[in-house]
Amino acid sequence: MDPLPPELESNTATDTTRKAFSVHVERIPEIQEARLALPVVAEEQKIMEAIHNNDVVVVWGSTGSGKTTQVPQFLYEAGYGAPDGPTPGLIGVTQPRRVAAVSMAKRVGDELGDAGSKVSYQIRFEASKNAQTTIKFMTDGVLLREISQDFALTKYSAIVIDEAHERSVNTDILIGMLSRIVDLRAEMARKDPKNKPLKLIIMSATLRISDFTENQRLFRHSVPPLIKAEGRQYSVTNHFSRRTNRDYVEEAFHKICKGHRKLPRGGMLVFLTGQSEIAQLAKRLKQTFDSTQGKVIKSAPVRISAAEAPLEVEDIELGGDIDNYQNDDGSDDDSIIHGLDDEDDREFDIGEESAEDSVLKVHILPLYSQLPTNQQLRVFEPPPDGSRLIVLATNVAETSLTIPGIRYVFDCGRAKEKKYDRITGVQSFEVGWISKASANQRAGRAGRTGPGHCYRLYSSAVFERDFEEYAYPEISRTPLEGVVLQLKSMGAPVVNFPFPTPPDRDSLQKAEKLLSYLGAISLDGKITKMGYELSLYPLNPRFARMLVMGTVHKVAAETIALVAALSVPEIIIPENKLGLKEPPPNTSEIRTEEDNIEAAERSRLRKQYNAVQAQLSTNASTSDCIKLNNAVCAYAHADSPEEFCEKMFLNSKALHEASQLRSQLTTIVRTHRPLALGGYEPKLPPPTEHVLNVLKQICAAGFIDQVAMRADLAPIPPDLPRKPRTAIEVPYLTLFASHVSGSVASDPAEQYVYIHPSSLLALVPVSKLPGFVIYSHLQRAAPSAINGAKTPKTRMHALTPITRPQLANIALGT
């Protein structure tokens, strides 16, 4: 352990009685044995001593070293949380992901044997907490809400912030808050020994923790000690691809097939970016190999299109990587056998048609956050005898979950992440390159049980040139109105808040401006009564404002459904994700009977899709927001929700979440505006014309700063681009909030925004397009590296038309 700086002593409330107190745990022998192999367990004494002697401690250990499962147990055994011990408060453990909160609670419960019932979890819509709970796993958002109800967190004796390296906004805010809460609790303990200090343990899988430890605004009294639990990590050989295929799912398929035929036994872990890619790849692998879960007989029209891989990467590398593509240490003889690039075939003469019979069965398991928990936990079970485990995962498997028995990692090098342009305010969910640190974490997953191999589905030149060293903290790429409102509602300073990485001033100002539009803060920046009310809802402040308006206008139940519809991502599955597009003509293959059947099937599905869209849009009269609302309301009426979603091309996970959100919001509205709602009735009658009008106005008011006007209506019309032929070519100009950096765009074409092709307005004739629309977000396609010359268009999503008088009403606040 690093020597403690002397000033530590003064600030620390050491409790000598605690050392004497401990709780005995009886574990089953296999569990006990597995624990002893974990590096974190080897450091138990150091870790606990540091915690006894300091209020804030940082624990570093590479992924899989035992931080998440073991540190809470150390605390438990040392008597934290014991009702009759010296520190009776709960042990709280936060996770940025719901998956991890649930599965880790279960694992720690199992490890604790008879004491297992003392472990529970709490996530947004679900809790397993009971009277016995001593260790509580939760998402970071849950703890933030608790802070707003009890700032001193008096029911806790210790808080563990896990995965701090991920730097989620909530984690950053929590660490900032907790730095003050720890001081407060130390002060309370000094005044009255009945009060106990709060212990804060920050855990990270990377050593990039200077933002926490060396940040003097954060921990003002002393630098928290760092305990390292150096893991036994076997060597992992990285094999870069010669070229970077932009269709990385295709590339993964190809390499996995080859790998499965060639490589010695050992589990495979494949990193992709999302659920649909995982499903498609799983299907293809099951079609190709004998699977423990049965072979897929009929091949449905599955084609992994380039649309799934919107990244533009160059086909021809900039040179310099041909020599080092093979592996990164260049010395491992083994690597030749393990290389999977085409060239290797010649040496070993293993053709694609090597005898199938001698090939192991595959045991394919998906792993992503939306997957039900019991299915997620299957990755921890050994695969059936005589099969190879192949886990297809998103970056959930990067640091939160460690899967046993993985020897081979296939890394697409990308992840889906929220992007936010600070200057323009344009937010998007895009597939982009991960950081070098993440790529190394992913590779490391192959070296837990023995030497491993990582197949990087991109070239070393791309890795060197395009990958950042570390991912930026989320706070630097997200809108801040929610954060600012939350801080203000807790009475915390905003500008001087001890952020681990302070967000830039412009973003904070933008957030304040929006909050004042919404009436949540006054002109001098103070939170208003409305602001307090808005902060009660687990919603973006815009949506909370819409909800309050709905209660005022006596359409509370309907507005709850509407904001639930707007708050969950992607309710309607976009056409391009269904693989309904015709594949590009394949000249090298003769069109078979099967191809014809597939084409007929595709065209049938396309027709069905269009019919469903029309059905969902009845009464929406060109408001995409109302269309989403229709989907949510119809879902509540469905007898069999799963079947309904299947038939209507709707995302069942999103709708399930929306329905949970509806009941949660109903509870809050009932508490704070008891007269606004009757009994909870998720099955709403079809809205009347009047209700629809009110809902549209509420949308408009919630997005008051997001109005766009047809460019030809501008008082001084700018130079208009060529005459548009279709709705999606018609240029609009944003009012109030300019989406263009500065006031003048460098390229005049950049100041325009356009209707997204999935919008109902895209079907309207140009001459009938509304003069004003409100949009819920703007999206800009990732700039293309190849045709960088052409600026991609910025498109508006989830539109609602609005009239000039309505606009005036809203602006006047009526």
The strand pair at 56-61 and 226-229 is best described as: parallel
Instruction: Provide, rounded to whole angstroms, the least separation between the CB of residue 115 and ligand ADP.
Output: 17
CA distance 103 to 374: 9
| In contact, 778 and 753? CB cutoff 8 Å | yes
Q: Which stretch binds ligand ADP (CB under 6 A): 63-71, 273-281, 328-336, 574-582?
A: 63-71
Query: How many of the chain's residues bind ligand ADP (CB under 6 A)?
Result: 15
CA distance 547 to 562: 9
Q: What would the two tokens of residue 262 be?
A: 């060639």
| Nearer residue to ligand ADP within complex by CB, 291 or 441 | 441
Place of tokens 């990377």: 206
Among 12, 23, 50, 69, binds ligand ADP (CB under 6 A): 69
| In contact, 694 and 800? CB cutoff 8 Å | no
| Nearer residue to ligand ADP within complex by CB, 112 or 340 | 112
| Nearer residue to ligand ADP within complex by CB, 60 or 463 | 60
CA distance 339 to 255: 10
Q: In this structure, what DSSP letter does residue 609 have?
A: H
- The phi, psi pair for 218, rounded to 5°, reads -80, -65
| Nearer residue to Mg ion within complex by CB, 232 or 790 | 232
Of 322-381, binders to ligand ADP (CB under 6 A) are 377, 380
What is the separation of C-alpha 340 from the centre of its chain, rounded to a whole number of angstroms? Answer: 32
| Nearer residue to Mg ion within complex by CB, 68 or 459 | 68
By CB under 6 A, is residue 292 in contact with ligand ADP?
A: no
Q: Which does 402 bind (CB under 5 to 8 A by kind): ligand ADP, Mg ion, none?
A: ligand ADP
Instruction: Provide, rounded to whole angstroms, the least separation between the CB of residue 418 and Mg ion.
Output: 22
**Neighbouring C-beta atoms of residue 799, cutoff 10 Å:** 26
| Nearer residue to ligand ADP within complex by CB, 101 or 560 | 101
Site string for ligand ADP, 29-48 (x = CB under 6 A): ---------x----------
| Nearer residue to ligand ADP within complex by CB, 205 or 648 | 205
By CB under 6 A, is residue 61 in contact with ligand ADP?
A: yes
Instruction: Provide, rounded to whole angstroms, the least separation between the CB of residue 405 and Mg ion.
Output: 18
- The phi, psi pair for 433, rounded to 5°, reads -65, 145
Q: Which stretch binds ligand ADP (CB under 6 A): 61-69, 309-317, 513-521, 553-561?
A: 61-69
Instruction: Provide, rounded to whole angstroms, the least separation between the CB of residue 328 and ligand ADP.
Output: 23
Among 18, 67, 361, 780, binds ligand ADP (CB under 6 A): 67
Separation in Å, CA 403 to CA 252, 267, 400, 791: 19, 9, 10, 43
Q: Which does 107 bind (CB under 5 to 8 A by kind): ligand ADP, Mg ion, none?
A: ligand ADP
Among 13, 64, 166, 620, binds ligand ADP (CB under 6 A): 64
| Nearer residue to ligand ADP within complex by CB, 235 or 615 | 235
| In contact, 421 and 299? CB cutoff 8 Å | no
| Nearer residue to ligand ADP within complex by CB, 377 or 573 | 377
Task: Find all residues with CB under 8 Å of 379, minimum gap 6, and list them.
Answer: 365, 367, 389, 391, 401, 403
- The phi, psi pair for 324, rounded to 5°, reads -110, 20
**Strand partners for 456:** 240, 411
Q: Which stretch binds ligand ADP (CB under 6 A): 56-64, 147-155, 362-370, 687-695?
A: 56-64
Among 12, 54, 63, 245, binds ligand ADP (CB under 6 A): 63
Phi/psi-derived region of residue 38, left when phi > 0, alpha when psi is between -120 and 50, beta in every other case: beta
Q: What would the two tokens of residue 125 be?
A: 């819509």
Site string for ligand ADP, 539-578 (x = CB under 6 A): ----------------------------------------
- The SS3 call for residue 809 is helix
Among 97, 98, 107, 260, binds ligand ADP (CB under 6 A): 107
Which one, of 769, 774, 778, 760, lies nearest residue 730 by Cα?
769
CA distance 100 to 402: 11
By CB under 6 A, is residue 442 in contact with ligand ADP?
A: no
Separation in Å, CA 291 to CA 176, 287, 288, 374: 49, 8, 9, 21
| In contact, 454 and 411? CB cutoff 8 Å | yes
Instruction: Provide, rounded to whole angstroms, the least separation between the CB of residue 99 and ligand ADP.
Output: 12
| Nearer residue to Mg ion within complex by CB, 97 or 255 | 97
Q: What would the two tokens of residue 232 be?
A: 């036994």
Q: Which does 65 bind (CB under 5 to 8 A by kind): Mg ion, ligand ADP, none?
A: ligand ADP
Instruction: Provide, rounded to whole angstroms, the least separation between the CB of residue 119 and ligand ADP.
Output: 12
Residue length of the chain: 814
Task: Find all residues with CB under 8 Å of 153, minimum gap 6, and list them.
Answer: 92, 146, 147, 159, 181, 185, 198
What is the separation of C-alpha 61 from the centre of its chain, rounded to a whole number of angstroms? Answer: 23
| Nearer residue to ligand ADP within complex by CB, 92 or 301 | 92
CA-based angle 756:434:797, to the nearest 5?
Answer: 10
Among 58, 60, 66, 75, binds ligand ADP (CB under 6 A): 66
| Nearer residue to Mg ion within complex by CB, 175 or 711 | 175
Instruction: Provide, rounded to whole angstroms, the least separation between the CB of residue 351 and ligand ADP.
Output: 36
Instruction: Provide, rounded to whole angstroms, the least separation between the CB of residue 108 and ligand ADP.
Output: 9
Instruction: Provide, rounded to whole angstroms, the least separation between the CB of residue 65 and Mg ion.
Output: 8
Among 12, 65, 376, 395, binds ligand ADP (CB under 6 A): 65
- The SS3 call for residue 371 is coil
Q: In the complex, which residues of this chain contact Mg ion (CB under 5 A)?
A: 67-68
| Nearer residue to ligand ADP within complex by CB, 228 or 581 | 228
Which one, of 788, 717, 703, 725, lies nearest residue 748 by Cα?
717
Of 389-408, binders to ligand ADP (CB under 6 A) are 402, 404
Q: Which does 776 bind (CB under 5 to 8 A by kind): Mg ion, ligand ADP, none?
A: none
- The SS3 call for residue 417 is strand
| Nearer residue to ligand ADP within complex by CB, 100 or 628 | 100
Of 136-175, binders to ligand ADP (CB under 6 A) are none
Instruction: Provide, rounded to whole angstroms, the least separation between the CB of residue 380 and ligand ADP.
Output: 3
- The phi, psi pair for 149, rounded to 5°, reads -95, -30
Q: In this structure, what DSSP letter does residue 234 have?
A: -
Q: Which stretch binds ligand ADP (CB under 6 A): 65-73, 612-620, 736-744, 763-771?
A: 65-73
**Strand partners for 753:** 732, 794
| Nearer residue to ligand ADP within complex by CB, 380 or 470 | 380
CA distance 184 to 202: 18
Instruction: Provide, rounded to whole angstroms, the least separation between the CB of residue 646 and ligand ADP.
Output: 31
CA distance 570 to 223: 44
Q: Which does 759 bind (CB under 5 to 8 A by kind): ligand ADP, Mg ion, none?
A: none
Largest pairwise CA distance in the chain: 84
| Nearer residue to ligand ADP within complex by CB, 64 or 702 | 64
Phi/psi-derived region of residue 357, left when phi > 0, alpha when psi is between -120 and 50, beta in every other case: alpha
CA distance 181 to 175: 10
Residues of the shown chain interacting with ligand ADP in the complex, contacts defined by CB under 6 A: 38, 61, 63-70, 107, 377, 380, 402, 404
